[in-house]
Amino acid sequence: MTDPPSASTATGPAAPIRVLLVDDQALLRMGFALVLGAEADLEVVGEAGDGRTALEQVAALRPDVVLMDVRMPGMNGIEATARVVAEHPTTRVLILTTFDLDEYAFAALRAGASGFLLKDARPAELVTAIRTVASGDAVVAPRVTRRMLEMFADHLPRTADTPSATGMDPRVAELTPRELEVLRAVAEGLSNAEIAGRLFLSEATVKTHVGRILAKLHVRDRVQAVVLAYETGLVGR
C-alpha cells in the first residue's frame, strides 16, 4: 500500500503570481518580462499594448496582477483599470507611470487600482510591488499617497449626499470613534507602527482596525480608504 503524501507533497509549492504586462512600448514590456521571468514565484502570462487588448487578455488569462500603463492609444489605462476592477474583482491593478505625481495615475487609483509604480523603479522594487499587490495590500507608500491626494485634492468632489444624524458623510458614519481616528491617521500617511505609537495601541490592534475600516467602507485597500477619507471631507483640504 502506498504511503499517503506528506503535507508539503500534497499541497505542492505555491502557484506563481500570474502577471499581465500592459504598455504601448514593446521594449518596456520586454524589460519588465526579463526582470519578472527571473523570479520563481512570478509568471508573465501575457502582454498588451492598449487598454482594450488588456481587457481581452484579463478575461482570457485571469492574471493575479496587471501592470497597467496609463497613457496608451485607444482605451487608456484609467478606463481599462475601472473595467478590470469592476469585471474581475480578484485581479489587482498596479499602475505604471513616468512621474510620481501624474494626475492620470491618481485618476487610476480612484478607478480602483491598488497602487502605482514608477517606470524607472529598480527591479527589486518592481518585484516587491507585485508581490505586495498580489497579497491584497497596496503598494503606494502612505506618505506618497498623501502627497498625491494633496496635489490633486481639487479634483476630489465633496459628496452631495445628505449628511447623517451625526453630521458626517453616510459612507463613514458607521465607523466607531476609534476607527475614525485610525482612518484619519492612515490618511495622514502614517504606517501601522506609527499609528500604534500615536494611539497607544499594539500594531496587531491597528491592523485589526484597518481591516474593519476597509470592510465597512467596502474598499479594497488603504489607498482606496484614503481617497474616500478625502472625498467625504473626513480629512481637511
Judge whether 207 lies within some domain. Answer: yes
| Reported pTM | 0.69
As a whole number of angstroms, the distance between CA 237 and CA 233 comes to 8
Same domain, 82 and 121: yes
Judge whether 236 lies within some domain. Answer: no
pLDDT bucket at 234, cuts 50 / 70 / 90: confident
pLDDT single digits (tens) 178-204: 999 999 988 877 778 889 999 999 989
Residue with cell 482594450: 52
Judge whether 159 lies within some domain. Answer: yes
Per the structure, the complete domain to which residue 170 belongs is given by: 151-231
**What backbone phi and psi angles, to 5 degrees, belong to 173?**
-65, -20
Counting the structural domains of the chain, the total is 2
pLDDT bucket at 143, cuts 50 / 70 / 90: low
Same domain, 112 and 133: yes
Do 186 and 225 touch, CB atoms closer than 8 A?
yes
216 is written with which cell numbers? 465597512
Report the pLDDT averaged over residues 67-86: 91
Residue 145: the pLDDT is 59
Judge whether 7 lies within some domain. Answer: no
Same domain, 65 and 18: yes
Q: Residue 44 forms beta bridges with which residues?
A: 19
Most confident of 14-18, 63-67, 68-72: 63-67
Question: In the predicted model, is pLDDT for residue 164 greater than 60?
Answer: no
Same domain, 181 and 69: no
